[in-house]
Amino acid sequence: MAFREITGGNAIDIKQTPGVPYEGIYIGHREFDSQFGGSQTVWNFRGEKEPFGIYGFTMLNRAMESVNEGTLCRITFTGKQKMKTKRGIVDMNTCKVEVDDAASADTDDMPDTYPAFDPEKKTEAPF
């Protein structure tokens, strides 16, 4: 058995990597109070090798609200663009959210990220 250190969350700030696509099956989101005040959303995905999260921002949050859990998604940060808002014209973070309905999965059949020991079933977690 080999242990590896867990240092914190696995959420990615895709604004740091413009043009790089992140692909995975959408498994849900979580909201929490940010250290700067207000609420922050992290969109969670099951990637090819491991689960990951993407920090939300306005355009991403709006697009992801219409995506069903179990949908295969590819999300790419496309940069900033000047847009008219209620606060005037501002530089907005933009992204491209793509879905592949044909490759979507039923999330009920997916294992939890960190499955636990179940004493009634006498099964152990796979790690």
Alpha carbons 104 and 25: distance in angstroms, whole number: 7
Total Cβ atoms within 10 A of residue 60: 22
**51 vs 6, more confident:** 51
Looking at residue 29, its amino acid is H
What's residue 70's pLDDT? 95
Residue 109 pLDDT greater than 80, yes or no: no
User: 46-89 pLDDT, tens per residue?
Assistant: 999 889 999 999 999 999 999 999 999 999 999 999 999 888 99
Does residue 75 contact residue 35 with C-beta atoms inside 8 Å? no
What's residue 103's pLDDT? 78
pLDDT band at 37 (very low <50, low <70, confident <90, very high): confident
Burial class of 16 by CB neighbour count within 10 A (0 to 12, 13 to 18, 19+): exposed
Report percent pLDDT > 70 for the chain: 76
Which residue ranges form the domains of the chain, and what is each CATH number? 11-101 (2.40.50)
Residue 124 pLDDT greater than 50, yes or no: no
**29 vs 125, more confident:** 29
